[in-house]
């Protein structure tokens, strides 16, 4: 968090901080009575949360959709209350006078289906922890497998309910980049600009199996009970905490990670007792435990699967689906990203260029790897501003 504050202050000085204090937002709810998923299943009474920043213009041509990352929410910028401890995750670039200028654009963000933070009072989502109207009980694993395409279709239904049929831009980091890319491929006539931060147009086998590391601790926890733990005293908390610890490490780069977490060389007890956990691991789990209080184990599993299955176009040949994108495109990989590597963004960019799209690419610098797409996004703020204008 300290690094994030330094980045914001150095790049934007005091004026945007005043603007930030003025950007108060309200969480709202969108509902679909009956939604059919990509795999043909039906979800009744689907609900997701949304929020917006700026003003919609008369012809509804100034809309920018922000699609959030794996463990994120719709809270991309501003605060719900002036007393909130911190603003939304991309507040450094979204707001009055910032790179994504809310004096000019109407910026919309939505909670995804199966949002991880289902226990957060500011999150509205439908997933395994939700009540199935047909049974009056939580869905559990009877909830259908959902995909990035399903996230996009819910967003499209919401926008159309507001009379919005084209997007000035769609922008998202990490899993949000998947959604942004799918938007531009699936609806090329509706998307004018695309920014894919710390992302890729596909997940390969290596990356998919790596993501399984986030699922296995949950499934191995005896309290997971095949996903049927709702309302029971025993909860898969230990597995969830371990999963979130792995997620944090995988999203980091050793350069930043080693500065935050204690060196094993200082662990005297670990030299004496094999049962003693490394201090760095204890620190990582403490951070994960705080996050676990707001998250649900099954929801993590569903997000993992949606990410594992990702490739643009989904059921199509993904390079062919990528070639459908006509939007002006900018990839923003993080230089030290070991999760969704810069090479994955560069490959996606090159395939787009081969299809005739003059896709651009700028790397986000920093020491935190994948997390630089959140913590260090302000360093490419001017590139974003120029691209949008």
Residues with catalytic function? 174, 337, 370
Distance of alpha carbon 33 from alpha carbon 154, whole angstroms: 12
Closest C-alpha among 189, 171, 168 to residue 181: 171
Structure tokens that stand for 279 in this block:
């201090």
Give CA torsion, residues 137, 143, 149, 153, to 10 deg: -30
* Strand pairing report for 137-138 and 42-53: unpaired
Strand partners, 329: 194
Distance of alpha carbon 282 from alpha carbon 200, whole angstroms: 32
User: Residue 375 to residues 115, 185, 331: CA-CA distances in angstroms?
Assistant: 21, 28, 17
Distance of alpha carbon 191 from alpha carbon 36, whole angstroms: 23
Region of 281 (left: φ > 0; alpha: ψ -120 to 50; beta: rest) is alpha
């Amino acid at each position: 968090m300290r690094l994030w504050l330094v980045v914001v202050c150095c790049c934007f000085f005091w004026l945007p901080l005043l603007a930030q204090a003025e950007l108060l937002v309200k969480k709202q709810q969108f509902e679909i009575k009956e939604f059919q998923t990509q795999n043909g299943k039906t979800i009744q009474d689907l609900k997701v949360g949304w929020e917006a920043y700026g003003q919609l213009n008369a012809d509804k041509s100034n809309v920018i959709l922000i699609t959030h990352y794996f463990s994120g929410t719709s809270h991309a910028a501003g605060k719900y209350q002036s007393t909130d401890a911190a603003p939304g995750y991309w507040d450094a670039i979204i707001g009055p006078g910032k790179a994504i200028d809310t004096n000019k654009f109407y910026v919309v963000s939505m909670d995804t289906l199966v949002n991880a933070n289902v226990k957060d009072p500011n999150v509205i989502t439908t997933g395994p922890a939700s009540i199935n109207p047909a049974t009056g009980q939580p869905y559990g694993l009877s909830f259908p497998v959902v995909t990035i395409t399903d996230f996009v279709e819910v967003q499209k239904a919401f926008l159309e309910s507001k009379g919005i049929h084209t997007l000035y831009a769609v922008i998202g980091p990490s899993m949000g980049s998947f959604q942004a890319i799918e938007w531009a491929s699936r609806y090329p006539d509706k998307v004018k600009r695309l920014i894919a931060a710390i992302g890729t147009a596909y997940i390969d086998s290596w990356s998919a199996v790596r993501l399984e590391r986030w699922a296995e601790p949950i499934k191995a926890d005896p309290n997971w009970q095949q996903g049927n733990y709702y309302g029971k005293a025993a909860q898969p908390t230990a597995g969830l905490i371990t999963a979130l610890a792995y997620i944090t490490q995988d999203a980091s780069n050793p350069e930043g990670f080693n500065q935050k977490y204690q060196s094993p060389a200082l662990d005297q007890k670990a030299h004496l007792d094999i049962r003693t956990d490394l201090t760095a691991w204890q620190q990582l789990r403490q951070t994960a435990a705080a996050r676990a209080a707001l998250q649900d184990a099954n929801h993590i599993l569903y997000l993992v699967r949606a990410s594992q299955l990702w490739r643009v176009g989904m059921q199509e040949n993904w390079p062919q689906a990528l070639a459908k994108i006509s939007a002006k495109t900018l990839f923003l990989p993080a230089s030290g990203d070991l999760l969704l590597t810069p090479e994955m963004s560069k490959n996606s960019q090159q395939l787009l260029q081969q299809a005739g799209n003059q896709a651009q690419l700028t790397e986000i610098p920093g020491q935190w790897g994948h997390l630089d797409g959140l913590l260090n996004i302000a360093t490419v703020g001017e590139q974003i501003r120029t691209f949008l204008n």
